[in-house]
Amino acid sequence: MSWKRKVLALAAALVSGAAGVVAVASSAEAVPATIPLRITNNSGRSDPVFIYDLGTELSTGRQGWADRNGGFHPWPPGGNPPSPAPDASIPGPANGQSITIQIPKFSGRIYFSYGQKIIFKVTTGGLVQPAVQNPSDPNVNILFNWSEYTLNDSGIWINSTQVDFFSAPYAVGVQPSSGATLTTGHLKPGGYNGFFNALRGQPGGWANLIRTRPDGTIVRALAPGHGIEGGLLPANVLSDYVNRVWAKYSTSTLTVTPFANQPNTKYFGRVSGNVMTFTNTSGQVVTSFQKPDSDSIFGCYKLLDAPNDLVRGPISRTLCAGFNRSTLLTNANQPGSGCSGFYTDVVTNHYARKIHAQMVDGKAYGFAFDDVNNCESLVHDGNPVQAFMTLDPFS
């Protein structure tokens, strides 16, 4: 799932309180036009680092980039084929050093790369983001990663994400106007190598998600949806679990309570043939889902599309989380509570499972709706003083 879809989903959740996210009121104090982002390089690497702040200017809806002082620059008109984008890079900190940049009210990404600048292009539809699941993408051998953030009048949301791939390790944080600094995304000691070793040892094609440079250096592990797209992972990798779920709820009822702050809003799912149909507490049909394939589950899209509404979207995101975490057979009341008891079936999203296992706080964005039950690696504050990004060791 793209960062745009995730930001929209987050916004919908904040409005509705979906999936355990509590609705956020506007901050008592005005959030300034920019806030400082302190970037610290603890990677242990000698490569030069390049930083980018790219996104949508919330006051105008224009897409562009921000310089180190938070100044906005719209993308120029692009061509077809795409033309090179302006160099939006900011020199990053050397190993053991920090820099501070200003980030504006954006919904976008903070990219960072090691050793080489990321190749961006613009087309008639705007910026062309890197798509390293495509072997011909010019960035496929560049070591890079990104954090997603939204800064608006209600504060900042900033995460570490592995929705598209797992690569260069980093953590994010925010310093509130009062209280302790909030952080998330740090791997356990040895967690970087631990993840790749665990994925390499997982039977069933999961090791094929690991991508290397021609010299054998690991650059990333692709998310399983991209693995299916590229023929690296079997397209039916989750089919056995889906079949068992479909069989179970052909004779019993799946209850979905998608809003933690609305416990009386419930939907009831039953399977007939190839379709799971949901009714509300009045017995009215509200939506239905075709039996999903593995790609729909990993991407939380297609047959599990989640529009930004108050019915189908929240049900779909709950189903998506249940399939990825393999909890639909062990709990007929979804999404349940807490972040334990996930990934216990032999058929599951092993990519997400192994990422969560290596996180200090157990939280990650291993798939698009990992925020169901608040198990995602995201921090928020309504009146931030400063945000942080730490480039962590490759160990």
As given in the structure block, the two tokens for residue 387 are 């945000």
CB atoms inside a 10 Å sphere around CB 33:
12
User: Across-strand partners of 10?
Assistant: none
d(CA 303, CA 317): 12
Q: Which of 178, 98, 171 is nearest to 381 (CA)?
A: 178
Task: Give the burial class of 216: count Cβ atoms within 10 A of its Cβ; 0-12 exposed, 13-18 middle, 19 or more buried.
Answer: exposed
**CA-to-CA dists, residue 4 to 55, 81, 150, 238, 365, angstroms:** 9, 23, 11, 26, 15
User: Per the residue annotation, which of 148, 370, 376, 392 is the catalytic one?
Assistant: 148
Q: In this structure, which long-range contacts are made by residues 83-86, counting pairs with CB atoms below 8 Å and at least 24 apart in sequence?
A: 83/121, 83/122, 83/123, 84/119, 84/120, 84/121, 84/122, 85/120, 85/121, 85/122, 85/127, 85/128
3-state secondary structure of 207: helix
Active site annotation includes 229 = no
Active site annotation includes 148 = yes
Q: Are 324 and 348 in contact (CB under 8 A)?
A: yes
Q: Which of 350, 132, 92 is nearest to 226 (CA)?
A: 132
User: Per the residue annotation, which of 53, 57, 164, 381 is the catalytic one?
Assistant: 164
Query: What is the set of active-site residues?
Result: 148, 164
